[in-house]
A and B are shown apart, each in its own frame.
Chain A
């Protein structure tokens, strides 16, 4: 194996340009794949945080008696997929409004009576089909006579989820296509190297070298190309991530969006995929060449 490693290093040095092109191609593919992964992970985080903060406001009719409120709350709690129910009295709502609009104190002073209704703030279990659950919940709540109005401001989230899912599928498809292209480019490089060394391969066979002995350095070469390309792709992705996130930190986005780099298992998986690309490219070209 040490011999195969030595021969592979020598091959790489002898065919620097060809190998550099292959490594760059793999690096670009890995950069694109990891950029997609980075985007998905962060958008996913964002959607999770939105889902967590997703709430349904149920405004009650003014004629609902205080004594009935606990009964109403109990009915809501018994509905499926409810995470939390919180009663917001009209007094609390007004106090909250005042605290949110400190510059409009005079406006509130002129109020003769509290115009806000009592309300229940409902949080739903956050998961993938949260929108369906909310739609169902709203449908159920509307049947109650004490309900004046129901509000859930993030109706658009459903549409966004669908668009994101479509985008995710397209991303996976594009990533796979890039990786496949990288596999064929590696296969082509190895084929060119074998072609350049066909006399040597032939001589090896004549002196009794088994196929595995001949193949080993090519596999090492493919794996080195994959590992190096993957490393460069991930490093560039990390560099771009830090560059972009440092720009974002200066804006308001930092509070809304906590961006993070790929978790360790993802970048290890991407690096492993890159090594597999190198190995697979080698496998394809050697299979074709040595069967002749």
Chain B
């Protein structure tokens, strides 16, 4: 148990989330380990996205406690939330890129918000865009890119700040098979750089192919046993 706690980067203790009378999550207890690649699976409405939102304080728990890298999210002050989010890179199914800003500006925003010097911002953004293969689209606006390209930019934005954790909510949900493979390969590549990656997906084929630890949620409840 002690060893488990030592290796855990995320810990959930009896976490529940209710919207009105509906339980989105019910009594979830879970450990996510450092440098782990974890899939959260389950049907639509099972609570996968809610679980991820609780981790970056997009939502707050109704009951229970969550620790992220030793920080108790129930006790974190509003002014500390940005610092939590700088340790987490988030990839959304709908990319959430700013349409009026260029690829470069979208990615640079993370570092600028963290107060990183301009010279370093330029260097890091170019480097990460090279890694995701979007170097030649640096000045393009997101609406001019394909879905796969936009998601690659979103991945670049998620990793540019060297986060400890990457949360990806249905990152391949809107993509064709080839683009989905590229995105997953990128996430795996960043995972190999000592980053914990949590991917919420209902794509069982994808999970089977990767063979990483997977937890299943159904109607907000964690299904046992978890499969490795």
Give A residues with C-beta under 8 Å from B: 3, 14, 199-200, 203-211, 213
Q: How far is the CB of B200 from chain A (nearest CB, A)?
A: 16
In the complex, chain A residues whose CB is within 8 Å of the CB of B202: none
Given contacts A207-B110, A213-B113, contact A14 B100 (CB under 8 A): yes
B157-A207 in contact (CB<8A): yes
User: Within the assembled complex, what's the spacing in Å between the Cα atoms of A226 and B27?
Assistant: 53
In the complex, chain B residues whose CB is within 8 Å of the CB of A199: 96, 98
**B113 is contacted by which of A14, A200, A210 (Cβ under 8 Å)?**
A210
> Which one of B77-85, B171-179, B191-199 contacts A?
B77-85
A206-B85 in contact (CB<8A): yes
In the complex, chain B residues whose CB is within 8 Å of the CB of A211: 79, 82
B113-A206 in contact (CB<8A): no
Which 6 residue pairs of A and B lie closest in terms of their CB atoms, listed nearest first?
A: A209-B113, A208-B86, A208-B85, A210-B82, A207-B110, A208-B82
B56-A3 in contact (CB<8A): no
B109-A204 in contact (CB<8A): yes
B79-A208 in contact (CB<8A): no
A3-B90 in contact (CB<8A): no
Residue interface mask B58-101, A partner, CB < 8 A = 1: 10000000000000000000010011111000100000111011
User: Within the assembled complex, what's the spacing in Å between the Cα atoms of A3 and B56?
Assistant: 26
A203-B79 in contact (CB<8A): no
Q: Which residue of A lies closest to B83 (CB)?
A: A208
User: Within the assembled complex, what's the spacing in Å between the Cα atoms of A207 and B56?
Assistant: 10
In the complex, chain B residues whose CB is within 8 Å of the CB of A210: 79, 82, 113
User: Within the assembled complex, what's the spacing in Å between the Cα atoms of A207 and B111?
Assistant: 9
Given contacts A208-B114, A208-B161, A209-B113, contact A203 B85 (CB under 8 A): no
In the complex, chain B residues whose CB is within 8 Å of the CB of A207: 85, 90, 109-110, 113, 157, 161
Q: Which residue of A lies closest to B163 (CB)?
A: A208
Q: Which residue of A lies closest to B80 (CB)?
A: A210
A to B CB contacts below 8 Å, 28 in the list = A14-B100, A199-B96, A200-B100, A200-B101, A203-B97, A203-B98, A205-B82, A206-B56, A206-B58, A206-B90, A207-B90, A207-B109, A207-B110, A207-B113, A207-B161, A208-B84, A208-B85, A208-B110, A208-B113, A209-B82, A209-B109, A209-B113, A210-B79, A210-B113, A211-B79, A211-B82, A213-B112, A213-B113
Q: Of A14, A199, A208, A209, which is in contact with the most chain B CB atoms at under 10 Å from its CB?
A: A208
In the complex, chain A residues whose CB is within 8 Å of the CB of B110: 207-208
User: Within the assembled complex, what's the spacing in Å between the Cα atoms of A199 and B85?
Assistant: 17
In the complex, chain A residues whose CB is within 8 Å of the CB of B56: 206
User: Within the assembled complex, what's the spacing in Å between the Cα atoms of A206 and B114?
Assistant: 12
In the complex, chain A residues whose CB is within 8 Å of the CB of B101: 200
In the complex, chain A residues whose CB is within 8 Å of the CB of B82: 205, 208-211
Q: How far is the CB of B49 from chain A (nearest CB, A)?
A: 13
Q: Which residue of B lies closest to A201 (CB)?
A: B98
Extra pairs beyond A206-B56, A207-B161, A210-B79 (13, CB < 8 Å): A3-B112, A14-B100, A206-B85, A206-B96, A207-B85, A207-B110, A208-B83, A208-B86, A208-B161, A209-B82, A209-B109, A213-B112, A213-B113
In the complex, chain A residues whose CB is within 8 Å of the CB of B113: 204, 207-210, 213
Q: How far is the CB of A31 from chain B (nearest CB, A)?
A: 34
In the complex, chain B residues whose CB is within 8 Å of the CB of A208: 82-86, 110, 113-114, 161
